[in-house]
Amino acid sequence: MSIKVLGISTSPRQNSNSDLLLRQALAGAESSGAETEYIRLGDLKIAPCIECNSCYKQGTCIVEDDYQMLSSKMLEADRLILATPIFFMTFCAQAKTLIDRCQCLWAHKYVLKQPLITTSRDRRAMVIAVGGTKSKKMFDSISLTAKYFIDVLEMNYAANLFVNNIDAPGRIKQHPSALNEAFRLGRELVSTDTPPHEKPINVELT
């Protein structure tokens, strides 16, 4: 059975830099025989968490929208690649909205103490983030939030691809190595030759 990779693109704009990197990473995964699925968050309707805490009792979210479908896909996938632009030093609102809705998975796991994934599976995740300025500090907040998000999903945090100083739409195409690195990391993400790393591989490009 081939490895299933889910790529979630969260940038709201066309010709998005993080989206272009995500597509390359998925192409890399496919080149190694993985089955890939690409989802653009902007095509779905996912409302913000309303902090009703209903999930503390049921382990599921009472707000019904496209979250339920996407959550099932995230739990089914063997690999997840989440791509975000940097907005105000962290994930864009679209990505953070999805992350916050996963509070019901956190409740399922840590309040109700029930396993999310019942069969033992090698699940790994990678994060792609692109910022417009020369700062690199913004990647600290991405790493921190991603660590807890990926833990809730019961995945191993395998890799980051962070690129700064890329602002205009599509500008990433002119970067000397970013698209190739995305392809390589996508291929590596689906390789089962090496066991998951303790810490994510960090590729930071300028």
Ligand X SMILES: Cc1cc2nc3c(=O)[nH]c(=O)nc-3n(C[C@H](O)[C@H](O)[C@H](O)COP(=O)(O)O)c2cc1C
Name the residues that contact ligand X, by CB under 6 A.
11, 13, 16-19, 85-89, 130-133, 135, 138, 166-167, 169
Closest approach of ligand X to the CB of residue 70, in Å:
19
Q: How many Cβ atoms are within 10 Å of 13's Cβ, its own excluded? A: 13
Our CB check for ligand X shows the closer of 61 and 95 to be 95
* Best CA proximity match to 28, nearest among 137, 165, 188, 138: 188
Our CB check for ligand X shows the closer of 88 and 193 to be 88
Closest approach of ligand X to the CB of residue 52, in Å:
28
In sequence order, what are the residues at sequence separation of 6 or more whose Cβ sits closer than 8 angstroms to the Cβ of residue 136? 162, 164, 204
Fill in the DSSP letter of residue 125: E
Closest approach of ligand X to the CB of residue 43, in Å:
15
Closest approach of ligand X to the CB of residue 10, in Å:
8
* Best CA proximity match to 70, nearest among 96, 93, 98: 98
Our CB check for ligand X shows the closer of 105 and 142 to be 142
